[in-house]
Amino acid sequence: MKITEIFEKKSEKFFRNLEEKITLKSLSLSKNVIALGGGAFLNEKIRKEVITNNYSVWLNCDSKTLISRLKNNKKRPLALNIPDNELLELISKRSKIYSKSQFKINCHKLTKNEIVKKIIDLYNND
């Protein structure tokens, strides 16, 4: 079942509970890379586990880039079909939590390969 279907048929709360369970289990395994969705790091249990026992990297993009990626993205139910000002508010609110990550990479004008290299460098130099 797709995330949007879970939101529609079961509710966001159901999805967040499932997300927490699966994420915490995945984080307990060794030598994994997990790309958390936009809301996962907002979960205090997940955030605490990530910060305490793992590496966390915030891939920070400018608001314009984020809006163009999120606008009408059917995989992002909370951002789907909301006005730009509400999307900016959501980005601003979440950025305050994301900033608690151990590392931050400013992704503006970086290619995917450059971002991956920066992540590897952070990991190897820590």
Give the domains, in start order, of the chain with CATH numbers.
3-125 (3.40.50.300)
Among 57, 73, 49, which residue's Cα sits nearest to residue 107?
57
Assign 40 a pLDDT band (cuts: 50, 70, 90).
very high
Burial label, 51 (beta-carbon count in 10 A; 0-12, 13-18, 19+): middle
Span 103-118, pLDDT tens digits: 999 998 999 999 999 9
- Going by the DSSP 8-state scheme, the letter that residue 104 receives in this structure is E
Per DSSP, the residues of 82-121 read --HHHHHHHHHHHHHHHTTSSEEEE-TT--HHHHHHHHHH
Q: Any idea how long the chain is?
A: 126
Assign 99 a pLDDT band (cuts: 50, 70, 90).
very high
pTM: 0.85
Angle at 101 (CA atoms; ends 95, 103), nearest 5 degrees: 110
More confident residue, 52 or 31: 52
Q: In angstroms, rounded to a whole number, what is the distance separating the alpha carbons of residues 36 and 34?
A: 6
Mean pLDDT of 64-92: 88
Q: Give the residue carrying structure tokens 């999307």.
A: 87
Tokens representing 47 are 């955030």
Assign 77 a pLDDT band (cuts: 50, 70, 90).
confident
Q: What pLDDT is stored for residue 79 in this prediction?
A: 87
Q: What pLDDT is stored for residue 75 in this prediction?
A: 85
Question: Bridge partners of 58?
Answer: 104
